[in-house]
Amino acid sequence: MHRLLTSLRSTRLGRFAGSGLVQLLSILVIFLVGRSTVVGYSSASSLRAMSVLAAFLGIAAMGQTLVVLVGGIDLSIPAVIGAGNVMASKLTGQGVSSPVMIAAVLATGLCIGLLNGYVSSRFRVPPLIVTLATGSVVGGAVLLWTNAALTGNAPSWLTGFTSAAATTGPLPLAPVVVLWLVLAAAGEYALRRTRPGRALYVNGVNREAARLMLVSDRAVLSAAFGCSGVCAALTGLLLAGFTGSGLFDVGSPYLFSAIAAVVIGGNSLLGGRGSILRCVLGAAALTELTTLLVGFSLSAAAQQAILGIVVVAVVASYGREQHIGGRI
């Protein structure tokens, strides 16, 4: 009886954590705390700056969300972000046109992601190991290409596109924020309303059942990791406009924060349960919290410790819940 009650409580808590209500409440609470304790936290310029930072994180975390849905983790995201950042800046500095530069950056991210998914599914190697190795290779290649130095420069239009002071028509939002929201809406629709999206969920719930339903494990994993690679490369490209030049380690903070945004959003690391919408909420809440901690003048180490505690607490809210595949 005790075990039954514990299971019911953990299941209800997990569902509540993943409903989005917790995230919305967290966003509101963090904002109110910041407004009352940090000078300028709720100013228009501060809010616009946070929205831009949330956009960078949100786009990277969107790709991680797709990988998490199939029960994996992509540790190559920071390296791919760095590669996209350096490629965008260096190709622009060499006189390459923006359309060609964008295509080259996104194609590189797609190829890296497809390789991760193919190797993981073809040789049955855990994605954690594959993406860690791929990230090391990509990071080393970028270092050799740049000699570990700043390189190139971002196109002027990209600087304006990612500026917190910019607006999008009548909207008081930077173009990069609008891009993030549009991509998130498209991703959510694709997951909920298209056959490939449903295939991701089915594969994450039960791969054997997915195989019997003629859902290709290799195709699903390759697609999920391919999208993750594209999102990471796009993040790196956009960050080039924010930083002004190519920086090989610009993606380092996203090793933890992308996963944290997915988790804080209420997406299950067990696979088969989650959404892009939850990822958006997670990225917004995490950006607010990080800004609040910076406002408290906490060191980087203290910030990481607090964020780690938050992630552990969120995971614990659904960590004891039975995997959805075991309830089918």
At 151 the three-state DSSP class reads strand
- In this predicted model, which residue has the larger pLDDT, 22 or 117? 117
Domain 43-319: CATH class, spelled out = mainly alpha
In terms of phi and psi (left: phi > 0; alpha: psi -120 to 50; beta: otherwise), the region of 275 is beta
pLDDT at 3: 44
pLDDT at 15: 53
DSSP 131: H
- Domains of the chain: which residue ranges? 43-319
Give the number of other Cβ atoms within 10 Å of residue 143's Cβ: 15
Q: Which of 200, 205, 201 is nearest to 327 (CA)?
A: 205
Tokens of 26: 């967290």
User: Average pLDDT, stretch 18-27?
Assistant: 82
- Rounded to a whole number of angstroms, the CA Rg of the chain reads 20
Task: Judge whether residue 258 has pLDDT over 70.
Answer: yes
- In this predicted model, which residue has the larger pLDDT, 77 or 212? 77
pLDDT at 327: 46
User: At 82, which helix (H) or strand (E)?
Assistant: helix 77-93
Band (5; pLDDT cuts 50, 70, 90): very low
Q: Which of 128-137, 255-264, 270-279, 289-298 has the lowest mean pLDDT?
A: 270-279
pLDDT in tens, 143-200: 998 887 888 899 999 999 999 999 999 999 999 999 999 999 999 999 999 999 999 9
pLDDT at 245: 84
Task: Judge whether residue 7 has pLDDT over 50.
Answer: no
Task: Judge whether residue 210 has pLDDT over 50.
Answer: yes
pLDDT in tens, 213-222: 888 889 999 9
Taking the model in full, what pTM does it have? 0.91
Task: Judge whether residue 1 has pLDDT over 80.
Answer: no
pLDDT in tens, 31-68: 999 999 999 999 999 999 999 999 999 999 999 999 99
Tokens of 14: 């997990």
From the number of C-beta atoms within 10 Å of its C-beta (0-12, 13-18, 19+), residue 195 rates as: exposed
